Structure 1
Amino acid sequence: MINAQPKKKWKVRYSVLLVLWLCWLFSFLDRMVITIALPFIGEDLNLNATAQGLLLSMFFAGYALFQIPGGMLSDKFGFRRVVSIAIAWWSIFTSLTGLVFSYPLMLLLRFVFGLGEACLPGGSYKAIATYFPSKQRGTATGIQSTVNTLGPALAAIAAAAIIGLYGWRVVFIVMGIPGLAIAIYIWFKFKDNPKDHPKISKEELAELEEDEAATASEKKKSDVSFKELLKKPILWQMALIWFFFDITFWGFTSWLPSYLIKEKGLSLMSTGVYSALPYLVGTVAIVLGGYISDKMKGNRKWVFIPNSLLGGVALYFMFQASSLTMVIVYQCLAAFFMFLAQGGFWALVVDSLPAKIMASGSATVNCFGSIAGFISPFLMGYMIQTSGSFDTSFIMMIVALVIAALIALTIGGKSKEEDAVNLEPKLEA
């Protein structure tokens, strides 16, 4: 008689990851619909390219300002309360955006909206570090990060459709509603400690405890305080890498729809579809980046470096291309390589920082990306207005990717014995 193989049970950590994925999805939907609405907001409020760029950047001013405090709040009070309140906060201000008729008030609203979203990154990475064993964190982070691609893609299509039918204001009012339901679910269903979750199995708890006790060095790693972490070069290396990478990412994401409309003459609906394509390609790439990174543990940086450089090469050919077909091909290639790099990068972050202070540490890294998000859209808007073309802004994005790759070269690889013993890697010559 053949023994039947035991069925794999759905684990609590998968449910946690699914809800976190939804949180990130709506965070990106809520923040990215403005990139499609921007030409219409600019026309409605009589804004030039620089003023439009500042409107994009104000979100990142609030997002950057509250990244580290938001992460510290998650470490102190638990990710459940902080993330649920944050989602409710930004959802309310998303809907209010559609009711504003004054440019200064809209700038203020985007800033306050950013304050709410700033609490999500640290809280979500802390949840992954809490519920997932080390060997699966790269893949889990990659899956969560697919919203970096699906969010802009869905936002582009949904926003274009709603704006075409009802105008740009309605899209903001509608987008704020689902987040409130998610916030309520997290508040009542999530637990900060896996042991307190009523549906978690003994097998899953044993797996987490085994992972926690795998090495004595992991215990030492968990005892590092946030104050001590701030003294470690690895934290600032990753922060600078993310800053320069996000100069490109947010420049590309924020201005791609306007580029297709103004430079290539596409219609609103065509822009929505073509703006979505690179992110759909990136959805596959970002999961692949996290998966490959898990297979290369100890050398995760080598997922980031070559793909970051290849992304820069694709961007160069994109703005040099004369035909629309080749522009679309190269923008998809640029997205594939950049998101592959991104999946590998955040796997490195989540696996390098102590779980106890994961929210604060990852929020510090993400804070630098938020600062880049503030600088890049505004600076690109200024470049576009003064030069009359997108060429100089594309060059800026390419240079930023090269710098990010060069900084990543300075992160030393870790052997199994060195992994997590200290957070200060050897610098390579």
Structure 2
Amino acid sequence: MVMSVTLGVSFLLMTLQHNYGLVLLLIMIGGIGYGGMHPTTNRGIVYWHVQKQRGTAMGIKQMGITFGSALAAILLLPLAETHGWRMVVLIACIGLIITGVIAYFLYRDPVLEKNNNHLKAKPGSTFKSIAAMAKNKALLLISLCAMGINGSQMALNTYLVLFTYEQLGINLVLAGLLLVISEVGGSLGRIGWGVISDRVFGGERLKVMAIIVTITLFASAVVAFLPSGTPYGLLVPLFFVFGFAVSGFNGIWMNLASELVPKEQAGLSSGFSITLGSMGVIFLPPFFGLVVDQTQGYTFGWLLISFLMVIVMVLLTMLNKLKKEQQSAR
């Protein structure tokens, strides 16, 4: 509830502001509420579900993000055009706060976790726990993997429309539709990969991550060499699969980050991993754009993603070897 209220109230206050500096400050405060949502919900999933169910549960949770974005585009944008963005965002914030309050009164922790809630953290233990996360090699490896895939996902979302419009000569409206198709693929991937990891691989996330990285590698390599005039009918399944892989990995990543540590540290570990993994979102899209500008084309930009996937595959191999060593040492 605290996260929902933090995000809702900060954005609600933002609708009443006309000072740009205050707007940025309120957006930053809202981001704190949004960022804290992942560790909290991840912890709940770890406690409520056994390993062979978490992939599906996490996928459903992660799909809520992209589904919410699509719902906002469908409902809020037309309403904003009619009533203005301030009124629409204000109503949405009120809805978010109400939802958070309802969740607070309806949600119940598992009995086991309730019994452990009396154990209070000692002063300074939080900083020690964060330091321990930084020393966890397995968590660092999966976070670095997420950094590469997250950045690639954002690069796809940022440059797909420009690439298909400028280099392939696709109509701007149809180019935008390809982005929608890619996002739909990502939404389905968040559940699909979770179901696959649970029911096909018995909760083994690393194998699924390797498949996702392989698909992303080949999809970006194919996109790099698409000629101008490529039939639209070929672009639709290509970008659907591309999005299904690179935008659908989040649930598997959240599962891995939560399962690499004891249950009671699941929230902290996923928060730590998200902090590192989000660096890719910040740095890769601008670097992708720099490559496009310097080479006067998108080929080397897409190949950059393929190269990153090779690095990610090496990191996954190291993580797999590390996990086997830890299991054999027990």
Bin for the TM-score computed over the shorter chain = 0.7 to 0.9
Amino acid aligned to 1:371: M
Q: For residue 123 of structure 1, what is the aligned residue in structure 2?
A: 40
The structure-2 alpha-carbon separation of the partners of 1:143 and 1:326, relative to structure 1 and needing over 3 Å to count, comes to same
Q: For residue 261 of structure 2, what is the aligned residue in structure 1?
A: 353
More moved, 320-329 vs 257-266: 257-266
Mapped partners of 1:338, 1:373: distance in 2: 13
Mapped partners of 1:310, 1:386: distance in 2: 27
Q: For residue 219 of structure 1, what is the aligned residue in structure 2?
A: none
What is the percent sequence identity of the aligned residues? 20
Confirm or deny that 1:243 pairs with 2:147: yes
More moved, 387-396 vs 273-282: 387-396
Q: Are the aligned partners of 2:39 and 2:271 in contact in 1 as well (CA < 8 Å)?
A: yes
Mapped partners of 1:364, 1:316: distance in 2: 31
Confirm or deny that 1:306 pairs with 2:203: no
More helix by share: 2
Amino acid aligned to 1:418: Q
Mapped partners of 2:210, 2:27: distance in 1: 33
Shift of 1:252: 2.3
Q: TM-score, normalised by structure 2?
A: 0.76
Confirm or deny that 1:399 pairs with 2:316: no
Q: For residue 278 of structure 1, what is the aligned residue in structure 2?
A: 182
The structure-2 alpha-carbon separation of the partners of 1:355 and 1:195, relative to structure 1 and needing over 3 Å to count, comes to closer
The structure-2 alpha-carbon separation of the partners of 1:293 and 1:145, relative to structure 1 and needing over 3 Å to count, comes to same
Q: For residue 418 of structure 1, what is the aligned residue in structure 2?
A: 327
Mapped partners of 2:81, 2:163: distance in 1: 19
Confirm or deny that 1:177 pairs with 2:94: yes
Mapped partners of 2:38, 2:286: distance in 1: 23
Confirm or deny that 1:144 pairs with 2:49: no
Mapped partners of 1:117, 1:368: distance in 2: 16
Confirm or deny that 1:293 pairs with 2:197: yes
Mapped partners of 2:293, 2:15: distance in 1: 26
Which runs of structure 2 are paired with 1:16-415 in the superposition (5 Å)? Answer: 84-95=1-12, 107-158=24-75, 161-162=78-79, 172-194=89-111, 227-256=131-160, 264-267=170-173, 273-294=177-198, 295-297=200-202, 299-321=204-226, 322=228, 323=230, 324-339=232-247, 341-380=249-288, 390-412=298-320
Mapped partners of 1:153, 1:412: distance in 2: 36
Q: Are the aligned partners of 1:290 and 1:343 in contact in 2 as well (CA < 8 Å)?
A: yes
The structure-2 alpha-carbon separation of the partners of 1:196 and 1:228, relative to structure 1 and needing over 3 Å to count, comes to closer
Q: Are the aligned partners of 2:187 and 2:248 in contact in 1 as well (CA < 8 Å)?
A: no
Mapped partners of 1:96, 1:385: distance in 2: 39
Mapped partners of 2:86, 2:281: distance in 1: 24
Q: Are the aligned partners of 2:141 and 2:315 in contact in 1 as well (CA < 8 Å)?
A: yes
Amino acid aligned to 2:327: E
Amino acid aligned to 1:233: K
5+ unaligned residues in a row in structure 2: which ranges? 116-127
Q: For residue 118 of structure 2, what is the aligned residue in structure 1?
A: none
Q: TM-score, normalised by structure 1?
A: 0.60
Cα-Cα RMSD = 3.7
Partner secondary structure for residue 271 of structure 2: helix
